[in-house]
Amino acid sequence: MTHILIIEDDTSMRALLKTLLEIERFQVSTIEISSPSDILKNISEKQPEIILMDVNLKTANGITVLREIRSSSIVNPQTRIIMTSGEDRKQECLLAGADDFLLKPYMPADLISKLHVIN
């Protein structure tokens, strides 16, 4: 079972994504974000195959966190990362190391499709 870590600071969105992905039979973890260092620590502990992360986090810049993930020796380099944002930041995310990007709002089927392709 593919393990997905959701890094999203909007609690409603996080809960909806978790429910959707569990219905699709993914193993899902979420984290409460208090600082950027918490994110790397949680990724290291949980070892997800896929990370679904928002660009605009309240306590951290998602692009900066993405770069830190990609340069970190404690995160598996095979971990796939899908970034999301309400702004079209696709090129910036891909250049920073994302495997894919979804522009919000997106349809659940689009997310599921990307998860199956990326995995």
Sequence-distant (6+) residues with CB within 8 A of 9 are: 33, 54, 57, 58, 59
* Element spanning 63, H or E: helix 62-71
Condensed to tens digits (0 to 9), the pLDDT of residues 36-50 reads 778 888 999 999 999
As beta bridge partners, residue 30 has 6
- Residue 85 to residues 17, 46, 50, 53, 72, Cα–Cα distance (Å): 14, 24, 17, 9, 23
Q: Say which CATH number the domain at 24 has.
A: 3.40.50.2300
Q: What is the pLDDT of residues 73-114, one digit of tens each?
A: 888 999 999 999 999 999 999 999 999 999 999 999 999 999
- Containing structural domain, residue 101: 3-118
- The structural domain count of the chain equals 1
Q: What is the pTM of this model?
A: 0.94
Contact 31, 19 (CB under 8 A): no
